[in-house]
């Protein structure tokens, strides 16, 4: 049975309870992440984190080429769902939102995965459309920005897709578009060698640029007052620029990274061999093989936005990195539209 989202999460919907302990689980093409948080009041102004966890499970292994989840990828991912389900029960979570995104949208055998999640977690997963994914990411990112400029352009660069969302600082979305390009897809489609060959890089760039051409039919990239990037590729580029030996989310969050520095660091990731990428103290072993492809996507996206801002007579100097994204949006959604687990919480 294919399960899809029955409603689009709204950053403007009222909260139904004065205080809740909720969980959001984001299962993407490369990683699965958990946020357990308290929502302290009814105004929806903040989340109080209990725990954030991330594991690389590579659910999207081969999906771009085969259209199916690999058995070993399903096993890895559902084993991690078991762990997250136990943590939610132990923490006394009362509402859970589990979102599956790009790889699940594309997999013909997704029912096997969705049924496995339901059996373990006790909630029906949402297979988010690109529009729903964009809205959820935007609401999560906006919730943690201090005095954002309006409108804000959010870029959520994942393993299988990249979402572009233009919206107001109060959470209202103006325009959005989901591109089927990401760190895992680009690596599997184009980057066969490590480091990649010039021909591989040019083919990948052409793919990304074509996706951006289509995206610009839907999202006016030059109109944003502030540009914000989220997810693992963006935070890893930022952590490298900051010279971090171990990952420090507090240091990464809110960093305004100059465009010239983004160009330099992404270029290093694109051309550095795997052993050098993996040697970074904060780099998860599962992210190291695909971060070069993700950096290529980020470089092309930033270049395009910079071109459009310059053409509008408003040169862009920096892009802000946010640690808060779709995971926060899912937790907020869980508070606004409670979805209790069908399994016992203790």
pLDDT tens digits for 219-240?
999 999 899 999 889 999 999 9
Residue 15 scores a pLDDT above 70: no
The answer to whether the beta carbons of residues 187 and 289 sit under 8 Å apart is yes
Instruction: Lowest mean pLDDT of 55-64, 266-275, 310-319, name the range.
Output: 55-64
d(CA 283, CA 287): 7
pLDDT of residue 38: 93
pLDDT of residue 198: 96
Hunting for tokens 């496995």 — which residue is that?
A: 116
Range of 42-46, 143-147, 269-273, 284-288 with top mean pLDDT: 269-273
Residue 124 scores a pLDDT above 90: no
pLDDT tens digits for 78-100?
999 999 999 999 999 999 999 98
Residues of the chain with CATH 3.30.420.40: 20-130+327-336
Hunting for tokens 């971060």 — which residue is that?
A: 291
pLDDT of residue 105: 76
pLDDT tens digits for 68-78?
889 999 999 99
pLDDT of residue 42: 53
d(CA 151, CA 134): 15
pLDDT of residue 3: 33
Q: Is 137 helix (H, G, I), strand (E, B) or coil?
A: helix
The answer to whether the beta carbons of residues 102 and 31 sit under 8 Å apart is no
Give ∠ CA 61-134-113 in degrees, rounded to 5.
35
Q: What is the CATH number of domain 145-323?
A: 3.30.420.150
pLDDT tens digits for 293-309?
999 999 999 999 999 99
Q: What does DSSP say about strands 256-258 and 318-322: parallel, antiparallel, or unpaired?
A: antiparallel
Sheet holding 126-127: strands in order across?
48-56, 31-39, 20-27, 95-100, 126-127
DSSP string, 311-341: HTT----EEEEES-SHHHHHHHHHHHS----
Mean pLDDT, the chain, as a whole number?
Answer: 87
pLDDT of residue 272: 96
Rg (CA), the chain: 19
pLDDT tier, 17 (very low <50, low <70, confident <90, very high otherwise): low
Residue 12 scores a pLDDT above 70: no
Q: What is the CATH number of domain 20-130+327-336?
A: 3.30.420.40
pLDDT tens digits for 303-336?
999 999 999 999 999 999 998 888 998 998 899 8
d(CA 28, CA 59): 7
The answer to whether the beta carbons of residues 178 and 285 sit under 8 Å apart is no
* pTM of the full structure: 0.80
pLDDT of residue 343: 65
Residue 247 scores a pLDDT above 70: yes
DSSP alpha helix (H) spans, the chain? 63-66, 71-91, 102-106, 110-121, 130-142, 183-189, 198-215, 232-242, 249-252, 259-271, 274-278, 291-311, 326-336
Residues of the chain with CATH 3.30.420.150: 145-323
The residue ranking higher by pLDDT, 129 or 260, is 260
């Amino acid at each position: 049975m294919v399960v899809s989202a029955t409603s689009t999460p709204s950053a403007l919907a009222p909260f139904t309870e004065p205080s809740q302990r909720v969980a959001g689980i984001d299962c993407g093409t490369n990683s699965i992440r958990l946020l357990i948080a308290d929502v302290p009041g009814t105004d929806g102004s903040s989340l109080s984190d209990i725990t954030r966890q991330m594991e690389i499970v590579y659910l999207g292994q081969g999906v771009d080429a085969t259209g199916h989840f690999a058995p070993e990828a399903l096993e890895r991912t559902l084993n991690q769902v078991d762990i997250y389900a136990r943590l939610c029960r132990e923490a006394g979570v009362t509402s859970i939102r589990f979102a599956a995104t790009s790889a699940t949208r594309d997999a013909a055998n997704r029912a096997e995965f969705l049924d496995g999640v339901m059996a373990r977690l006790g909630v029906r997963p949402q297979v988010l459309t690109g529009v729903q994914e964009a809205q959820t990411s935007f609401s999560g990112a906006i919730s943690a920005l201090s005095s954002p400029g309006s409108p804000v352009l959010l870029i959520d660069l994942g393993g299988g897709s990249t979402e572009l969302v233009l919206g107001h600082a109060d959470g209202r979305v103006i325009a959005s578009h989901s591109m089927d390009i990401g760190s895992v897809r680009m690596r599997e489609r184009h980057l066969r060698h490590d480091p990649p060959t010039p021909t591989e890089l040019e083919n990948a760039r052409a793919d990304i640029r074509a996706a951006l051409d289509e995206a610009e039919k839907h999202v006016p990239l030059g109109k944003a007052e502030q540009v914000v990037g989220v997810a693992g590729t963006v935070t890893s580029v930022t952590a490298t620029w900051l010279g971090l030996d171990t990952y420090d989310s507090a240091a990464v969050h809110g960093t305004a990274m100059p465009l010239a520095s983004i160009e330099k660091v992404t270029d290093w990731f694109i051309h550095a061999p795997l052993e050098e990428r993996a040697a970074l103290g904060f780099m998860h072993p599962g992210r190291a093989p695909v971060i070069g492809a993700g950096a290529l996507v980020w470089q092309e996206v930033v270049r395009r936005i910079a071109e459009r801002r310059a053409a509008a007579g408003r040169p862009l100097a920096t892009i802000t990195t946010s640690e808060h994204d779709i995971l926060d949006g899912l937790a907020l959604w869980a508070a606004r539209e409670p979805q209790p687990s069908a399994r016992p919480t203790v």
